[in-house]
């Protein structure tokens, strides 16, 4: 079993650690530069790093006939060329499907490459319902498996307790500038009036933008984490009481050039963050438009599914309604209870 990826994602971390627990051997190949990856959470000594050139393709020949699990984030040309060699059994696992994005010149080309990859691979591993939506006409006949991002542990779950101030985490799309968002001041005011301490995960540019926004509006209880430091982010989750997912529809006009998604993105796409909240029993508020993730949150945690920003005026009330509730059984979405499905695929 050989993983080949261009990024170290929480999904890959969880899969590899689950394989380590059951003693299943695998290899890891990184396409790119190993020095930029700081999120290796699992024990793996021998990692092969390759680039897109003839000599590195030769390095892969020693794996001829092997099964490759391709976790694809970008660099679609590379993966398409690799599959066309037809010397490996290739299972593809797209982090983001390009057919869920609005049409642009770049996306059009990427969609064509993605189509070729999905059509010519040996199997498809899906982390969301996006492919099921796209594949209504059954054009991708390869064998498929729905393998979510899943939760890692059940023993991290804590009880909700009543407090004067609740720590609330908000995660925005990582590279968008806060300056393009509408309703931010309105959202912050709603939450601060309910005695929420707000925590955001931001890139360096947005940290500067946030500080200016705080100064302008005299916002005191808004803090930030650097999203690049994943280990610190996970550690800080221990102190979070609530998680708020704000739909991009509430932040950017759908007619704006910055609005890059189709409406189907919200209904069928998936977020790895929700499983981190579920495994810790962090109260989560999710917009109804995110159909698939809202279902998972509502099924396996004490969540609040809201229709509009106006509903957030009741967020503290909805949280405190859940105090004293028994934690839900999350055994069905633990990666350790699903890893054998992936091994047998």
**Interval 289-311: pLDDT, tens:** 888 889 999 999 999 999 999 99
Q: Residue 304 is encoded by which pair of tokens?
A: 């609040």
Q: How far apart are CA 232 and CA 38, in angstroms?
A: 12
Q: How confident is the model at residue 242 (pLDDT cuts 50, 70, 90)?
A: very high
- Helices 76-84 and 105-120, packing angle to 10 deg: 30
Q: Is 138 left (phi over 0), alpha (psi -120 to 50) or beta?
A: left
CA distances from 50 to 5, 34, 121, 180 (A): 10, 9, 21, 37
Query: Quick one: how far is CA 54 from the chain centroid?
Result: 33
pLDDT at residue 254 tops 50: yes
* Contact of 79 with 119, CB cutoff 8 Å: no
Weakest-pLDDT range from 12-16, 17-21, 232-236, 252-256 = 252-256
pLDDT of res. 36: 47
Q: Which residues contact 32 (CB under 8 A, 6 or more apart)?
A: 6, 7, 49, 51, 75
Residue 48: phi and psi, rounded to 5, are -90, 130
**Both structure tokens of 242:** 């609530």
Give the H/E segment covering residue 143.
strand 143-146
Tell me the pLDDT tens digit for each residue of 31-74.
886 554 555 665 555 788 898 888 888 889 999 999 999 999 88
The pTM score is 0.88
d(CA 281, CA 267): 23
């Amino acid at each position: 079993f050989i993983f080949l990826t261009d990024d170290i994602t929480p999904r890959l971390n969880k899969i590899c650690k689950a394989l380590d627990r059951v003693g299943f051997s695998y290899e890891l190949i990184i396409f790119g530069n190993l020095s930029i990856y700081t999120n290796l959470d699992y024990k793996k000594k021998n990692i092969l790093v390759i680039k897109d050139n003839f000599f590195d393709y030769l390095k892969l020949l020693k794996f001829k006939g092997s099964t490759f699990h391709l976790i694809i984030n970008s660099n679609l040309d590379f993966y398409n060329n690799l599959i066309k060699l037809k010397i490996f059994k290739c299972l593809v696992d797209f982090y983001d499907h390009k057919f869920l994005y609005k049409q642009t010149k770049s996306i059009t080309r990427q969609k064509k490459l993605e189509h070729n990859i999905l059509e010519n691979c040996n199997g498809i591993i899906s982390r969301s319902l996006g492919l099921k939506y796209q594949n209504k006409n059954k054009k991708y006949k390869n064998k498929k498996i729905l393998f979510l991002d899943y939760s890692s542990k059940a023993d991290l779950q804590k009880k909700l307790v009543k407090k004067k101030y609740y720590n609330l985490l908000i995660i925005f799309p990582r590279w968008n500038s806060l300056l393009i968002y509408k309703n931010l001041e309105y959202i912050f005011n709603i939450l601060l009036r309910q005695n929420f301490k707000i925590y955001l995960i931001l890139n360096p540019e947005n940290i500067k933008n946030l500080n200016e926004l705080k100064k302008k509006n005299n916002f005191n209880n808004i803090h930030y984490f650097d999203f690049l430091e994943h280990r610190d982010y996970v550690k800080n989750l221990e102190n979070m009481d609530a998680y708020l997912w704000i739909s991009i529809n509430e932040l950017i006009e759908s007619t704006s050039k910055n609005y890059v998604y189709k409406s189907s993105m919200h209904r069928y796409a998936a977020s790895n963050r929700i499983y981190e909240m579920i495994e810790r029993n962090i109260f989560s508020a999710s917009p109804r438009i995110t159909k698939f993730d809202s279902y998972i949150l509502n099924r396996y945690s004490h969540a609040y599914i809201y229709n509009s920003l106006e509903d957030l005026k009741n967020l503290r009330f909805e949280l405190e309604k859940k105090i004293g509730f028994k934690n839900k059984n999350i055994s069905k979405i633990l990666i350790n209870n699903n890893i054998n499905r992936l091994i047998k695929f």
